Structure formats: structure tokens, C-alpha cells
């Protein structure tokens, strides 16, 4: 096919960062009205390539063609003018502005227009057309993340993009939101627009895409028509061997094992006044992994946050090893907390990898002596953690924001599980991780259990909860719907409980 057949072609794109060859002569092609999946392990170079397309980085080599014409993209406004729209892996909305303000932000006409009514009308039309509903007047921070994503997509459509890039859009979506997104994507492609879809969820890639390009270490491993692919084949292309999330051996928790976390009749109302946890009871023992299944947004965040003391329940008691939780737990030997939103609560983006690895303990020996930071100790600790958790970074001394999304997550995990806490709360710890890294996190949580830690594992991926948990509880609308044995739990039954059915 000649270049004209493609809505977008990126050819021979190379991008070097100090110490990293992020993109090594990458060529991708996306046809009109088609969805191209972009797959690859954490750090493979997907986001970098898309940032080049969007004018955020300049490539060292390579060309970009849109509808067969070579274009120069020096800035996001160039990209937008060429019809490129992008929903970033980490959203870039302004939280304190309303939806419609975010949508018109940066438009050339905005300076003169103070009357937002016509813009609102246009936005509402798009909402209906793509069935992505949001209230134009809502402040963005009040919206659930799923709807924040609709805003990002609508913003691109408002600018009449021809190629829409979605960088891990479903990592933060509930299953029903993912379905809405799929429906919107087929409407977008039906109009002849093209979509580039990045995801680590192979099932979705199989469902949504027409073609898939797989990257590894900055290089194209291959491009395949989705109809000729299988999940296993894609995993093999990504990792270099066939891998699947596998069921792990269960622990036999002795009957007299010590209860580590005990929650009794806990009630939590969230900042919007919604009853987020209802008369919630739960006990987790030393040496077991308790999985929390449930569709995202059913109280998972509040559960994790009230155990770690970040929010205070309105009633009920929470005890860790017999001690009531009364405020934020800052003792790292007590609690390891892998938070859901690693950007807001997990990392200081401008600090180095090494610094982020000791943030909780930086005033303690061996990292500080008499108030002076011991950089040698900090450095060797960092190298040890980078090794142990396979963090892909050019050095321990680069700002953590230069790591790929998945590798930032590994830094949080490494820090939280060191030094060995008695209770681990892992809240969506594998979100955004590639398959190999997902299994790495599973290994780590299993090791934590072997060591005798109590592990609370919260995940919206049912397959994962079933693979790892000794015991499973189901969270629905803030209620604990029941306790199931990890060995005998049935996927269909859990699925029903996740939708609110009591068994």
C-alpha cells in the first residue's frame, strides 16, 4: 500500500534519552477507520512514541505522514492542527475547572468567547453521538475517573481529530465503562477516524483492534492482523515466551494464626456524602492473602484508605495487631500500602528513583545519621531494590517521572514492602503493569505471605483475585457480600455477587 492509504504512518522513529534508546527505528501504520493496538512491556517505548506524535518530544530520526503527506509536528498545537487527539496515560485535565472549561481550554477562539453556551451545546451533541455522558458544568475533580476520561476523549473529538490516541484508557475503567468505551470507539471508526489503542489487557486488545504492533525494548517485534492473533501469541510476542496468569498454590493458614487486621462494623461516608463502606466486617490473619473482588468504585478506595488511616470512619473499629488505627500510619514496619493512585499518593515525581525509595524512612538509620543523609547507603539500597523488582531505569539518580508508567509503579511497590511490614494493603497494585510484571507482583505478594505478613489484595481483575487469594471477599456498594474459600470459589458466583446478588 502506498502511504496515502494510511491515516497515519510513523516511519523509522528513533528517540534517545540519556542512557536509554526509547524508540529504535519504529514504524507503525494505521489505516482509515481502523484501530491499531500498540502493545509492549513496561518501558517498551509506547508512550514515548505517542508523545512524539503529539509534539511533546522531538524525534532524533524518522518521519510522520498523515494521509500520505509528511508533516512536521513541533508542539501539541501542531498535532491538533493535523487532526491528532490524545488521551494521556496520566490525565492532563485541570481539576478545579469545569468540564466545559477544560474542553475549550487552549482553543484559539477561547480568548474572545466568554459565553460558553454554544460550546456546551456542541459538547452535549458529542456526548449523545458517542454515548459518553458528562455534565458540562461539573467540576472535574468531582467526577469519577471514568467520566474524567470521557472528558479527555470528548475534548479531542471537539477538536475534530482524525487520529485519536488512547494511552491505557481502560486501566482506570470499570467493566461497564470499558464497554461504553468500546462502543464509542466503534462509532469513532465508523466515521472514518482512526484510533491507536494502548493497553496491557490482551482480551480487550483482541476485541477492539484491527491490527496490533508489538514493541519490545524500543523496537518493533512485529505487526499482526488481530484476526490472526490469539492472546497467547500476543503475550509471546511481547515477552518472548508464552505466559498466562496462573493459579498459585494456596496457603494453609493454621487455625490459631494471629488476626492482624480486624475491622468491625465500619461505616465510611466519602467526600461527596455517599455511604462508601456499610457495616463492614473483615479479619485478615498472618500468613494469608485475602482478595477483595468487586467492580471498581464499590468502596475499594475507602477500604484501603481507612485501614491506612488516611480517612477516618464515622463509626466502627479498625485494629492492626490489637492496636486501634487512630490516624495516618507512618510506621513502615507496621503497614505497607500500595495506593491506587500512585501519582497523587505514591511518588514525588521530581525526586530521583533513589529518593523515592526511601521517602518514608529518610530520617532513619542507615539512610540518615545525625540528620545527615547518607547517600552511599541510599544509593546501594536503591540499586538493590531496582534489581529485586526489575525496575527499568537508566540509573537510580534520574527523576522518577522519566520512568515509564509501569516502572513508576514498581518503585512504589519496592518502597512499600521494605522493611517487611506486618500488614500489606495492595490496592490495584498491577494496574498498568505488563503481564510479566503482573506475575512479578504476584510473586512478591506470595513471598510476603510466606514471610508471615497479612496481605489484603484489592483488585478489579477477577482473574487475578482468583489466581492469588487464599480467601476472597466480594465488595458491592460498600458491603462485604461474603467470604469465599480461594480453592473452591466459583467465578460465576463471584461475578453475580459483584453485581449485588447475595448467595
Closer residue to ligand ATP, CB minimum distance, 37 or 486? 37
Q: Smallest distance, Å, CB 215 to Mg ion?
A: 11
Nearest to ligand ATP of 15, 381 (CB atom): 15
- 339 interacts with, out of Mg ion, ligand ATP, none, CB within 5 to 8 A per kind: none
Least separation, in Å, of the C-beta of 398 and ligand ATP?
6
Beta carbon of residue 352, minimum distance to ligand ATP (angstroms, whole number): 12
Q: Residue 454 Cβ, how far from ligand ATP at the closest point, in Å? A: 29
Q: Which is nearer to ligand ATP, 300 or 402 (CB)?
A: 402
Nearest approach, Cβ of residue 9 and ligand ATP (Å): 19
Which is closer to ligand ATP, CB of 59 or CB of 313? 59
Closest separation in Å from C-beta 409 to ligand ATP: 8
What span, in angstroms and rounded, lies between the C-alpha atoms of 353 and 347? Answer: 9
Whose CB is nearest to ligand ATP? Answer: 406
Using CB atoms, what's the residue nearest to Mg ion? 47
Name which of Mg ion, ligand ATP, none residue 45 binds, using a CB cut-off of 5 to 8 Å depending on partner kind: ligand ATP
Beta-bridge mates of residue 269: 275
DSSP secondary structure code for residue 141 in this structure? G
- Concatenating the DSSP letter of every residue in 355-399 gives HHHTTTTTTSTTTEETTEE-HHHHHHHHHHHHHHTT---S-TTSB
Taking the C-alpha atoms of residue 115 and residue 455, their distance in angstroms, rounded to an integer, is 53
- Residue 136: name its binding partner from Mg ion, ligand ATP, none (Cβ under 5 to 8 Å by kind): none
- SS3 of residue 55 by DSSP: coil
Q: Cis ω on the peptide bond leading into residue 212 (within 30° of 0)?
A: no
Which residues face 26 on adjacent strands? 13
Out of ligand ATP, Mg ion, none, what residue 392 binds, judged by CB under 5 to 8 A for its kind, is ligand ATP
Question: What does 40 interact with, of ligand ATP, Mg ion, none (CB < 5 to 8 A by kind)?
Answer: ligand ATP
Please classify residue 305 by burial: count the beta carbons closer than 10 Å to its beta carbon, then call 0-12 exposed, 13-18 middle and 19+ buried.
buried
Mind giving me the DSSP string for 454-503? Answer: EEEEE-S-HHHHHHH-SEEEEEETTEEEEEEETTT--HHHHHHHHTT---
Which positions touch Mg ion (CB under 5 A)?
47, 89, 405
* Minimal distance, residue 45 CB to ligand ATP, in Å: 4
Contacting positions for ligand ATP (CB under 6 A): 17, 20, 22, 40, 42-48, 89, 392-393, 402-407
CB closer to ligand ATP, 356 vs 402: 402
Distant-in-sequence, close-in-space partners of 289: CB < 8 Å, separation ≥ 6 = 251, 445, 446, 449, 455, 457, 468, 469, 470, 471, 486
Q: For Mg ion, which is the closer residue by CB, 289 or 435?
A: 435
At 244, is the secondary structure helix, strand, or coil? coil
Residue 446, CB-side half-sphere exposure with 13 Å CA sphere: 16
Amino acid at each position: 500500500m502506498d502511504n496515502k492509504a494510511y491515516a497515519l504512518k510513523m516511519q523509522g522513529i528513533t528517540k534517545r534519552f540519556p542512557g536509554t534508546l526509547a524508540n529504535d527505528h519504529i514504524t507503525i501504520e494505521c489505516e482509515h477507520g481502523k484501530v491499531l493496538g500498540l502493545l509492549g512491556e513496561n518501558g517498551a517505548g509506547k508512550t514515548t512514541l505517542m508523545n512524539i506524535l503529539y509534539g511533546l518530544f522531538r524525534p532524533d530520526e524518522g518521519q510522520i505522514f498523515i494521509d500520505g503527506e509528511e508533516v512536521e509536528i513541533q508542539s501539541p498545537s501542531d498535532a491538533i492542527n493535523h487532526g491528532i487527539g490524545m488521551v494521556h496515560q496520566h490525565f492532563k485535565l485541570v481539576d478545579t475547572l469545569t468540564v466545559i472549561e477544560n474542553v475549550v481550554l487552549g482553543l484559539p477562539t477561547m480568548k474572545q468567547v466568554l459565553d460558553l453556551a454554544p460550546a456546551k451545546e456542541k459538547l452535549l451533541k458529542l456526548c449523545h453521538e458517542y454515548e459518553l455522558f458528562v455534565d458540562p458544568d461539573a467540576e472535574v475533580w468531582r467526577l469519577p475517573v471514568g467520566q474524567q476520561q470521557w472528558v479527555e476523549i470528548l475534548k479531542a473529538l471537539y477538536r475534530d481529530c482524525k487520529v485519536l490516541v488512547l494511552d491505557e484508557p481502560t486501566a482506570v475503567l470499570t467493566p461497564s465503562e470499558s464497554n461504553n468505551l468500546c462502543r464509542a470507539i466503534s462509532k469513532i471508526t465508523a466515521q472514518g477516524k482512526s484510533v491507536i489503542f494502548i493497553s496491557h489487557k490482551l482480551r480487550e486488545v483482541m476485541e477492539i483492534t484491527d491490527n496490533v504492533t508489538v514493541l519490545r525494548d524500543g523496537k518493533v517485534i512485529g505487526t499482526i492482523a488481530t484476526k490472526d492473533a490469539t492472546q497467547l501469541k500476543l503475550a509471546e510476542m511481547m515477552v518472548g515466551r508464552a505466559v498466562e496468569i496462573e493459579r498459585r498454590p494456596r496457603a494453609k493458614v493454621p487455625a490459631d494464626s494471629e488476626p492482624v487486621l480486624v475491622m468491625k462494623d465500619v461505616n465510611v461516608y466519602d467526600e461527596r456524602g455517599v455511604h462508601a463502606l456499610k457495616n463492614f466486617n473483615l479479619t485478615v490473619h498472618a500468613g494469608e492473602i485475602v482478595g477483595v473482588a468487586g467492580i471498581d468504585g464499590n468502596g475499594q478506595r475507602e477500604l484501603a484508605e481507612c485501614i491506612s488511616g488516611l480517612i477516618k470512619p464515622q463509626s466502627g473499629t479498625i485494629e492492626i495487631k490489637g492496636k486501634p488505627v487512630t490516624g495516618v500510619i507512618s510506621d513502615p514496619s507496621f503497614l505497607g500500602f500500595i495506593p491506587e493512585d500512585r501519582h497523587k499518593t505514591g511518588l514525588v515525581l521530581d525526586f530521583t528513583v533513589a529518593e523515592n525509595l526511601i521517602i518514608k524512612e529518610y530520617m532513619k538509620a542507615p539512610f540518615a545519621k545525625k540528620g545527615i543523609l547518607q547517600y552511599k547507603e541510599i544509593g546501594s539500597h536503591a540499586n538493590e531494590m531496582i534489581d529485586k523488582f526489575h525496575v527499568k531505569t537508566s540509573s537510580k539518580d534520574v527523576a522518577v517521572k522519566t520512568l515509564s508508567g509501569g516502572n513508576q509503579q514498581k518503585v512504589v511497590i519496592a518502597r512499600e514492602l521494605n522493611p517487611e511490614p506486618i500488614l500489606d494493603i495492595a490496592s490495584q497494585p498491577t494496574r498498568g503493569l505488563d503481564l510479566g510484571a503482573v506475575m512479578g507482583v504476584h510473586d512478591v505478594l506470595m513471598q510476603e505471605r510466606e514471610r508471615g505478613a497479612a496481605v489484603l489484595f484489592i483488585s478489579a481483575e477477577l482473574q487475578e483475585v482468583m489466581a492469588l487469594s487464599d480467601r476472597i471477599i466480594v465488595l458491592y456498594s460498600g458491603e462485604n457480600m461474603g467470604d469465599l474459600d480461594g480453592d473452591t470459589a466459583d467465578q460465576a458466583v463471584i461475578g453475580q455477587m459483584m453485581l449485588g446478588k447475595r448467595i
